[in-house]
Structure 1
Amino acid sequence: MSVNNELETTMIALFQTIDLALQLYTWILIASAIFSWLYAFNVINSSNHFVNQVGTFLYNVTEPALRPIRRLLPNLGGIDISPIILLLIIFFLRSFLWTTIYPLVV
């Protein structure tokens, strides 16, 4: 195997890993939004230890990325569209990764 083939294989693996991480974070964002709705409407028991741990995990994982977006958005009352904005950003990054950066590197 030549050095170019090894480099190309490594770059493909790196791009696929980054893409997978972004895809997993997308699902975590969706889970966090659904969890927050269920929590707000008292569908889930907030005093349950497991539910509390899941909520804390989702909050700790998503809040650092959502906080800067929330600061930039105007007050929309009780509607939080920051997860939608972040999902659009992730979609853009994934598309940009494969259509623009990947062809330049490989």
Structure 2
Amino acid sequence: MTSLFQILMLLIGVVKFIVIAHIIMSWLINFGVLNMRQPLVAQIWDGLNRLLQPIYDPIRRFLPNMGGLDLAPLVVILGVYALEIILRNNVAMFL
């Protein structure tokens, strides 16, 4: 069961990395640091969007319209951290 806990923690770490990479990349694109006409940037951006849109869309339906400010990534990050805290506090179940 310890292996299951470690696998869950690994998956949580990967999800955190992907969401944070998406957030930082969106900032870099919006501030003009990254150019979407570059094929590599466009492919990475498209891949991250394809991974995260199924997660963001249900959250966006419940959040109020903030006028261009997207809070869905923040909600996802908070949810992932909350799940990590719950798992770490209940690690005895996995032993």
> Do the structures match in fold with TM over 0.5?
yes
Shift of 1:26: 0.4
Unpaired runs of at least 5, structure 2: none
Matched, 1:21 2:8: no
1:79 corresponds in structure 2 to 69
Aligned partners of 2:93 and 2:86: how far apart in 1? 11
2:93 corresponds in structure 1 to 104
1:91 corresponds in structure 2 to 81
Matched, 1:66 2:65: no
Matched, 1:50 2:40: yes
Q: Which has the higher contact order (CA 8 A, sep 6+)?
A: 2
Structure number, greater radius of gyration? 1
Deviations 1:56-96 (A, max 9, x none): 11111111111111111000111111111111100111111
Aligned partners of 2:85 and 2:68: how far apart in 1? 31
**CA RMSD between the two structures:** 1.2
Structure 1 residues 26 and 36: alpha-carbon distance in aligned structure 2, compared to 1, 3 A threshold: same
Aligned partners of 2:14 and 2:93: how far apart in 1? 25
Identity rate of aligned residues, in percent? 35
After TM superposition, what 4+ stretches of structure 1 lie above 3 angstroms from structure 2?
none
Corresponding letter in the other structure for 1:50? L
Aligned partners of 2:2 and 2:56: how far apart in 1? 29
Structure 1 residues 38 and 46: alpha-carbon distance in aligned structure 2, compared to 1, 3 A threshold: same
Name the SS for the 1:59 alignment partner: helix
Aligned partners of 2:45 and 2:22: how far apart in 1? 8
